[in-house]
């Protein structure tokens, strides 16, 4: 098969490449771009470890071909740090509230939480559990993940208020 | 989990997409959200030389409520169905059903067109569309034709759609004001297909049921519109006798098979429980 020309923005940078059309976006990110934040947990569209933000949607990047992302604006967990490279608010709250143990699911969790809090800045615990239901964690039992997301919501709202 | 190779196309309009399908025949396949197709391609249960991505075709997108008709473009995502206030007002059962499909990530990508065209008995939208008496608009090289959702499904993965036809829109008669509704689904976990699911719409006037439509999901190799189950409610006071008769009629119409969601007896039992809950909730909501 002929290679396909693809171009997209990843974490604010334009990237361009030739790729085999059957390449899954997760493989393109990890192997071609060496962006290894998004993880492969299942490769069967179930675990959410590969979640990235694409044009304002949380997407399992193992369930998208690279060509489908042509022209898209993509953010991975690497793109959610502060301008000075320090941990972003959601990342910091996962650290502070022990929202991870082995950390394998964390990039997907954080990327998903980012979109959830953009859409619903004041979620209830139930909203968080429902909104994070596409991300599986084998370690934490979810309690601290939910806590971290709730604290991230508060912190982001306080930050917004301070800026106003 | 690497799919077989293919050539990728991204046409800008329906005519160009049809041209690619016509040129390559059954070697070509459209992709919408890809959340049924890509898993099948990874398993090599689907292989095609040409993949036709519909994402740039704006004429396939959008929801409109116009008088008595709701029109939904095939490329409208489940997330968009959930977040549309106009749709929630006109036919709230669609939001209720979309919310029990898969998980948030899948719902951002999965489209209503892909869900109903797929032909997987596990999909939730086909039964819902039968319950609502929706019509699918198919466009092919020979023009456009409407097919009723109740006549679309032939067997698992076999539908009335021809290979070179694209589903462009779904047209739904707007339910009358005061219609009671419920989409009830039993699943093992979030992100699972139904063990049993049921859509119910009914109207009540002066204590008597004046219309009822009942559909069952993942309980046969196609969705089942249980006409006799609805008929068992119409004209009744929606009391215990009528509900029992409706459940018996629905059980007659379904034909579940044993799989990892349970043996046939269990599924029959769950189907009855789910349908009863759906009827109860629909009655409570009818006004
Ligand atoms: C983890 C997981 C859980 C899921 N759980 C559920 C669930 O509980 N309930 C449920 O209903 N679904 C579920 N799904 C499936 C999901 O809803 C799919 O997105 C949906 O079935 C297909 O929509 P799509 O847009 O992704 O279609 P695609 O995967 O892109 O296409 C599916 C099929 O339809 C054809 N097609 C698509 N669009 C058109 C069109 N416009 N015209 C003609 N043919 C077309 C394609 O060629 C393909 O054969 C789940 C999926 C995953 C990955
Ligand atoms: S690796 Fe994509 S969902 Fe698990
Ligand atoms: S922290 Fe180990 S999988 Fe979630």
Domains of chain B by start residue, with CATH: 7-53 (3.30.43.10), 64-172 (3.30.465.10), 180-285 (3.30.390.50)
**Full domain range(s) for residue A40:** 4-79
Same domain, A159 and A84: yes
Q: Residue written as tokens 């800045």?
A: A121
Q: How many CA atoms lie within 13 A of B265 on its CB side?
A: 0
Task: Give the residue among A118, A32, A106, A107 at the shortest CA–CA distance from A69.
Answer: A32
What percent of chain B is modeled with pLDDT above 70?
A: 100
**Interval B193-200 mean pLDDT:** 98
Same domain, A50 and A26: yes
pTM for the predicted model, two decimal places: 0.97
Nearest by CB to residue A68, choosing from B42, B55, B108, is B55
Same domain, A15 and A54: yes
DSSP string spanning A109-141? HHHHHHHHHHH-SS--HHHHHHHTTT---SSS-
Rounded to an integer, what distance in angstroms lies between the CA atom of residue B223 and that of residue B155?
Answer: 9
Rounded to an integer, what distance in angstroms lies between the CA atom of residue A63 and that of residue A51?
Answer: 10
Confirm if A105 and A49 have CB atoms less than 8 A apart: yes
Rounded to an integer, what distance in angstroms lies between the CA atom of residue B244 and that of residue B95?
Answer: 28
What are phi and psi for residue B197, nearest 5 degrees? Answer: -145, 155
**Residue A73 near chain B (CB below 8 Å):** no
Helices in chain B by DSSP H: which ranges?
14-24, 37-42, 78-83, 85-90, 92-98, 104-109, 112-118, 125-131, 149-152, 227-233, 240-253, 264-285
Q: How confident is the model at residue A1 (pLDDT cuts 50, 70, 90)?
A: low
Mutation target vs B (from A19, A21, A50, A130; most B CBs, 10 A cutoff): A21
Pocket lining: A136 vs ligand 2, CB cutoff 6 Å:
no
Same domain, A84 and A74: no
Query: Which residue of A40, A95, A103 sits with most ligand 3 atoms within 8 Å of its CB, as the best mutation to test the pocket?
Result: A103
Ligand 2 atom nearest the C-alpha of A60 is 2
Quote the ligand 1 centre to A106 CA distance (angstroms): 27
Tell me the per-residue pLDDT of A138-149, one tens digit each, with 9 for 90 and over.
999 999 999 999
Which ligand has its closest atom nearest to the C-alpha of A106?
3
**Residue A144 near chain B (CB below 8 Å):** no
Listed residues A51, A79, A107: the one ending a domain: A79
C-alpha separations of A34 from A24, A27, A76, A138, A140 in Å: 14, 9, 12, 25, 28
Q: How high is the mean pLDDT of chain B?
A: 97
Rounded to an integer, what distance in angstroms lies between the CA atom of residue B245 and that of residue A140?
Answer: 47
Same domain, A61 and A35: yes
**Interval B231-257 mean pLDDT:** 98
What percent of chain B is modeled with pLDDT above 90?
A: 99
Rounded to an integer, what distance in angstroms lies between the CA atom of residue B199 and that of residue B204?
Answer: 17
Confirm if B21 and B166 have CB atoms less than 8 A apart: yes
Write down the pLDDT at residue B27: 96
Same domain, A125 and A84: yes
Listed residues A63, A79, A95: the one ending a domain: A79
Cβ contacts (< 8 Å) between B38 and chain A: which residues?
24, 45, 63-65
């Amino acid at each position: 098969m002929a290679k396909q020309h693809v171009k997209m923005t990843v974490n604010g940078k334009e990237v361009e490449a030739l790729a085999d059309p059957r390449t899954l976006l997760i493989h393109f990110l990890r192997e071609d771009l060496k962006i290894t934040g998004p993880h492969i947990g299942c490769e069967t569209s179930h675990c959410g470890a590969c979640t990235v933000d694409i044009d304002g949607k949380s997407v399992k990047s193992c369930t998208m071909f690279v060509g489908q992302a042509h022209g898209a604006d993509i953010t991975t967990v690497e793109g959610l740090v502060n301008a000075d490279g320090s941990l972003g608010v959601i990342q910091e709250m996962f650290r502070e509230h022990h929202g991870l143990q082995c950390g394998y699911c964390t990039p997907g969790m954080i990327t998903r939480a980012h979109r959830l809090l953009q859409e619903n800045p004041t979620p209830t615990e139930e909203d968080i559990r429902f909104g994070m239901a596409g991300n599986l964690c084998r370690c934490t039992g979810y309690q601290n993940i939910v806590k971290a997301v709730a604290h991230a919501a508060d912190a982001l709202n306080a930050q917004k208020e301070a800026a106003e | 989990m690497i799919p077989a190779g293919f050539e990728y196309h991204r046409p800008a309009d329906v005519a160009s997409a049809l041209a690619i399908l016509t040129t390559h025949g059954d070697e070509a396949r459209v992709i919408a959200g890809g959340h049924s197709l890509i898993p099948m391609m990874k398993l090599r249960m689907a292989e095609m030389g040409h993949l036709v991505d519909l994402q740039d075709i704006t004429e396939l997108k959008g929801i409109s409520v116009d008088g008595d008709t709701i029109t939904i473009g095939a490329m409208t995502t489940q997330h968009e169905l959930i977040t549309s206030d106009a749709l929630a007002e006109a036919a709230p059962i669609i939001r209720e059903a979309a919310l029990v499909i898969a998980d948030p990530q899948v719902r951002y990508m999965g489209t209503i067109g892909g869900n109903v065209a797929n032909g997987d008995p596990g999909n939730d939208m086909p039964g819902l569309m039968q319950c609502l008496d929706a019509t699918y608009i198919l466009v092919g090289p020979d023009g456009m034709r409407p097919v009723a959702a109740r006549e679309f499904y032939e067997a698992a993965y076999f539908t009335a759609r021809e290979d070179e036809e694209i589903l462009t829109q779904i047209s739904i008669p707007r339910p009358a004001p005061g219609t009671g509704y419920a989409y009830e689904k039993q699943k093992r976990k979030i992100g699972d297909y139904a063990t049993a699911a049921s859509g119910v719409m009914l109207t009540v006037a002066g204590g008597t049921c004046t219309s009822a439509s009942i559909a069952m999901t993942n309980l046969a190799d196609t969705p089942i519109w249980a006409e006799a189950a609805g008929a068992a409610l119409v004209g009744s006071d929606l009391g215990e006798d009528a509900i029992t008769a409706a459940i018996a009629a629905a059980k007659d119409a379904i034909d579940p098979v044993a799989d990892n969601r349970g043996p046939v007896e269990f599924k029959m039992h769950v189907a009855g429980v789910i349908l009863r809950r759906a009827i109860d909730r629909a009655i409570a909501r009818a006004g």
